[in-house]
């Protein structure tokens, strides 16, 4: 599953005395050497001429210090480099590096979008010792954004409900999901989203697990729930199709294996 490696030690302050690798982003895409899918080395970073204020520390992993940088334009240090979307790297890039890239991508987007105060438009300043941009004029503070989203697999006897989300980049059947609204608990959001998207009522909610999902800064909170009442009625703007799948049905292609959705469905798929 996509996650930061367990042996990674985060750091807010720059570290010295260790080999250094830099995850360079342009609009959510990661700079890699094409043939080896390796991160740019010191010489490549020098060729990019990244301003010092756009370098942010990440931390230590397996004896190497990792930092993040972001660029306004997709500059390349040489012809053998290119920018790659993280989704395209699933199953291709080393899992640990991909986990770090997911973490770094969210920080890169935060740094890129908070150069100016959202209240008074003054240039912001990075606060020493914190992941925080602060406005010197009005005092407004901006921390990295995390957007909680619920995911729920509904069970009905020996069947589970899977849906094809209208705007999904994968076009695969998966569990229902949606972002929390202001003032909601996760449980409130599950009841609301399930009724809005498929017209069903559920109960017996049980927490399954969570996952950081850097598209662009979601925190997926996965649950199971039992069917209570209603007939499937899809919200066309959100759901292209939804149906019950049981042990004797032909099942669709599962979600991408790096997602918590894949684990959630695999753990509760009815057995023949």
Identify the architecture of domain 147-268 in CATH: Alpha-Beta Complex (3.90)
pLDDT given for residue 167 in this prediction: 87
Q: Is the pTM of this model over 0.85?
A: yes
Task: Judge if 8-114 and 147-268 fold alike in CATH terms.
Answer: yes
pLDDT given for residue 46 in this prediction: 95
Distance between CA 55 and CA 164 in Å, rounded? 39
Q: Is 4 helix (H, G, I), strand (E, B) or coil?
A: coil
Which residue, 167, 243, 95, 252, is CA-closest to 178? Answer: 167
Strands 218-229 and 201-213: antiparallel
pLDDT given for residue 171 in this prediction: 83
Q: Is the dihedral of CA 235, 237, 240, 245 positive or negative?
A: negative
Place of tokens 């199709």: 241
Q: What do you get for the CA distance between the two ends of the chain, in Å?
A: 26
Please give the torsion angle defined by the CA atoms of residues 251, 257, 262 and 266, in that order, rounded to the nearest 10 degrees: 70
In this structure, how many other beta carbons lie within 10 angstroms of the beta carbon of residue 56?
A: 20
Identify the architecture of domain 8-114 in CATH: Alpha-Beta Complex (3.90)
pLDDT given for residue 15 in this prediction: 94
| pLDDT tens by residue, the chain, 272 residues | 899 999 999 999 999 999 999 999 999 999 999 999 999 999 999 999 999 999 999 999 999 999 999 999 999 999 999 999 999 999 999 999 999 999 999 999 999 999 999 999 999 999 999 999 999 999 999 999 999 999 999 999 999 999 999 988 888 999 999 999 999 999 999 999 999 999 999 999 999 999 999 999 999 999 999 999 999 999 999 999 999 999 999 999 999 999 999 999 999 999 87
Q: 9, exposed or middle or buried, with CB in 10 Å at 0-12, 13-18, 19+?
A: exposed
**Measuring CA to CA, how many Å separate 30 from each of 13, 23, 37, 68, 113?**
22, 7, 10, 10, 17
pLDDT given for residue 170 in this prediction: 80
Domain boundaries in the chain? 8-114, 115-145, 147-268
Place of tokens 């920080």: 107
């Amino acid at each position: 599953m996509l996650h930061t490696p367990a042996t990674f030690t985060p750091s807010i302050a720059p570290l010295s005395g260790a080999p250094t690798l830099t995850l360079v982003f342009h609009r959510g895409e990661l700079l890699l050497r094409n043939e080896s899918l390796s991160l740019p080395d010191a010489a490549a970073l020098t060729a990019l001429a990244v301003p010092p204020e756009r370098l942010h520390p990440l931390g230590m992993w397996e004896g190497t210090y990792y930092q993040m940088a972001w660029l306004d334009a997709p500059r390349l240090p040489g012809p053998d480099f290119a920018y790659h979307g993280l989704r395209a790297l699933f199953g291709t890039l080393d899992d640990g590096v991909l986990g770090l890239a997911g973490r770094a991508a969210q920080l890169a987007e935060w740094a890129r979008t908070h150069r100016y105060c959202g209240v008074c438009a003054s240039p912001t300043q990075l606060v020493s010792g914190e992941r925080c941009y602060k406005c010197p004029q009005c005092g407004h503070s901006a921390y990295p954004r995390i957007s909680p989203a619920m995911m729920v697999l509904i069970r009905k006897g020996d069947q589970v409900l899977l849906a094809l989300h209208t705007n999904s980049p994968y076009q695969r059947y998966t569990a229902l999901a949606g972002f929390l609204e202001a003032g909601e608990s996760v449980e409130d959001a599950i009841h609301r989203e399930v009724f809005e998207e498929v017209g069903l009522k559920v109960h017996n909610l049980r927490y399954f697990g969570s996952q950081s999902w850097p598209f662009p800064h979601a925190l997926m909170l996965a649950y199971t729930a039992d069917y209570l009442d209603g007939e499937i009625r899809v919200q066309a703007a959100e759901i292209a199709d939804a149906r019950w799948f049981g042990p004797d049905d032909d099942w669709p292609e599962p979600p991408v294996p790096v997602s918590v959705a894949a684990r959630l469905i695999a753990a509760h798929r009815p057995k023949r």
